[in-house]
Structure 1
Amino acid sequence: MTASERKTIYFIAGLPRSGSTLLANILAQHPRFYVTPTSGIVDMLVQVRNGWDTNDAFRAMDRPLSERIKADVLNAMLQAYFAHTDRPVCFDKNRYWAEFLEMGAALAGGRDNVKVLVTVRDLRDVLASFERLYRSTSAMGQLPQEAAMALKFKTALGRVQVFTDDAQPVGRAYNAIRDAVTRGWRDRMHFIDYDALTAKPAETMAGVYRFLGKEPYRHDFDHVEQVTFEDDSVYGFKDLHIIRQKVEPQPPQWPKVFDDAVFQSPVWKTVEGVAQFWKLYR
């Protein structure tokens, strides 16, 4: 692959249920941008990185040479993932990129080349969205979390506790974002508030283009065609990654989804305390 064929690759990370799929499909309107659905390439890169150092043949090599070849292989993997598209600017969407920005910098040619779009949303609405998905899915199916933690999943409060656990979607993504800031990546991260994106899409996308250093593009927010598709049954949910065609404000869901059985709990008080945590970093 020649230098002229190399893709410029940016990352999309953030909280679940915070508009990353919507953002991806808005970006996809740009004729030079290619966006992925939820991508597994970061998982593959991490597996190769970790496996490399446990392979006896690579361990027996000259160490600096082995490290150089490992970096070349990982870089080639990431570039090859986008070889099928002729669009020069690619966005890879995986909420856990925030955990691996050091590796991302090594593959991007340095820290200054790392740019991460981080979608965020009031954590109370993130949890309300998961609760609504549970209610729509549970009629005819069982979520993986329910199968693993059946008793705790019997109540709305229990489901809040499950989803905010460090090993579950909300807890892990929240921790990944906060730790990326702790590790010094704040200046390479651009937070995109779901409420701002849906209420003021033109203004919000203008901020995205400024962060990327790209010329603004006139998007059609009334007709966002969905071009990224995922089989949501793999994740155990129904309609997890389906977007509305028209970008418009969504009222807060949590006041109508939950009641005092949740609101008076210690775990909800903790959630309320960090519900809009990204505003601390402005």
Structure 2
Amino acid sequence: MQSIHFLSGLPRSGSTLLAALLRQNPRFYANMSGPLAGMVNAMLGEMSGRNEFSVFITDQQRQRVLRGLFDSYYSDEFTADVVFDTSRIWCAKLPVLHTLFPGAKLIACVRHVSWIVDSVECAIRNNALRPSTIFSFQTGGTVYSRAEGIAHGEGMLGYAYNALKEAFYGEHAKHLMVLQYETLVRDPAGAMAAVYEFIGEPLFQHDFDNVRFEAEEFDERAGTPGLHTVGGKVQAQERATVLPPDIFRRFENDAFWLNAAANIRAVRVV
């Protein structure tokens, strides 16, 4: 199959924007989060000891089956030279990805955690008449229960945060690059140059004044129209937070990737 790399990291941190930029390059294919990571998880489970016939499955067969998922999904209609597959799950699957694709790189998008919680809350308030799949379409929550819901270990944010730390401190961290949302929106040219250098591809001249992406059907079904819409110029937008001060303060020191002394694997942080 084509050369493949992976986009992952924290929610509401620029992965859709990064994909929208990458797909400007006619040699690249990139998109929002897709189904492959879930399919890999499902197949790992089906080939595990919980299946009584797993005694007939070797690790070589497991590897071929999982590679086959990618080969089949990104088949002939995907003509790009380089594919970027996106999922927050990939940070927790770096050993699997390294086994399947030893040369693949993982770009993890991050953002100050308080602003991630703020961004999710804004998405909910902007669609006040539509309960969201983010909270299982529940209608009785508050900003406090919503913050707690996404931050716990299996929540939208908490899971991704823990998965990122696993990759950041893991044995395959040399295949990981952390891309800060703040860098991407304030210096998109510099951010993209770092991405191209990391994956070893020739630099492409992107149009940072006209970036477009939308997933209307997906966002409508999720109860959050506009959640993945990208349009216009890449730029930082300064505004006040919608969060109560105590919630904002709770998360404001969680950007562990900024602690150079704790970067024991020398992960590149852009």
Q: Give the structure-1-normalised TM-score.
A: 0.85
Q: Which string of whole-angstrom CA distances, capped at 9 and with x for unpartnered residues, describes residues 35-66 of structure 1?
A: 1321111111121121012333342x2x6xx2
- What is the aligned counterpart of 2:127 among 119, 137, 162? 137
What is the root-mean-square deviation in Å for CA atoms of aligned residues?
Answer: 2.0
2:266 aligns with none
1:57 aligns with 53
1:68 aligns with 60
- What is the aligned counterpart of 1:271 among 246, 251, 265? 251
Please tell me whether the aligned partners of residues 124 and 272 of structure 1 are also in contact (alpha carbons under 8 angstroms). yes
- What is the aligned counterpart of 1:187 among 174, 196, 200? 174
2:163 aligns with 176
2:242 aligns with 257
Matched AA of 1:104: L
Partner-residue secondary structure (3-state), 2:84:
strand
* Structure 1 residue 193: Cα displacement: 1.1
Q: Which string of whole-angstrom CA distances, capped at 9 and with x for unpartnered residues, describes residues 11-50 of structure 1?
A: 0001111111110010001111011321111111121121
1:163 aligns with 150
Matched AA of 2:256: F
Partner-residue secondary structure (3-state), 1:244:
strand
Residues 100 and 229 of structure 1: CA distance in aligned 2, closer, same or farther (over 3 Å): farther
Please tell me whether the aligned partners of residues 25 and 227 of structure 1 are also in contact (alpha carbons under 8 angstroms). no
Q: Which string of whole-angstrom CA distances, capped at 9 and with x for unpartnered residues, describes residues 223-255 of structure 1?
A: 11327665113333221100122111221x4x4
Structure 2 runs not aligned, ≥5 long: 264-268
CA distance in 2, matches of 1:40, 1:82: 12
Written as runs of structure 1 = structure 2, the 5 A alignment for 1:35-50 is 35-50=30-45
Matched AA of 2:51: N
* Structure 1 residue 98: Cα displacement: 0.4
Identity score, percent: 27
CA distance in 2, matches of 1:36, 1:227: 10
Q: In the alignment, is residue 90 of structure 1 matched against residue 83 of structure 2?
A: yes
Q: Which runs of 4+ in 1 moved over 4 A?
A: 145-151, 227-230
Matched AA of 2:96: M
2:15 aligns with 20
Residues 23 and 146 of structure 1: CA distance in aligned 2, closer, same or farther (over 3 Å): closer
Structure 1 runs not aligned, ≥5 long: 1-5
Residues 165 and 234 of structure 1: CA distance in aligned 2, closer, same or farther (over 3 Å): farther
2:70 aligns with 78
Partner-residue secondary structure (3-state), 1:76:
helix
1:199 aligns with 186
* CA radius of gyration, larger in: 1
Residues 145 and 207 of structure 1: CA distance in aligned 2, closer, same or farther (over 3 Å): closer
CA distance in 2, matches of 1:107, 1:99: 14
Please tell me whether the aligned partners of residues 13 and 96 of structure 1 are also in contact (alpha carbons under 8 angstroms). yes
1:3 aligns with none
Partner-residue secondary structure (3-state), 1:31:
coil
Partner-residue secondary structure (3-state), 2:211:
coil
| Structure in which a larger fraction of residues adopt helix | 1
Matched AA of 1:97: W
Please tell me whether the aligned partners of residues 119 and 194 of structure 1 are also in contact (alpha carbons under 8 angstroms). yes
- What is the aligned counterpart of 1:32 among 23, 27, 30? 27
Partner-residue secondary structure (3-state), 1:12:
strand
* Structure 1 residue 77: Cα displacement: 1.1
* Structure 1 residue 194: Cα displacement: 1.1
Q: Give the structure-2-normalised TM-score.
A: 0.88
Aligned residues: 259
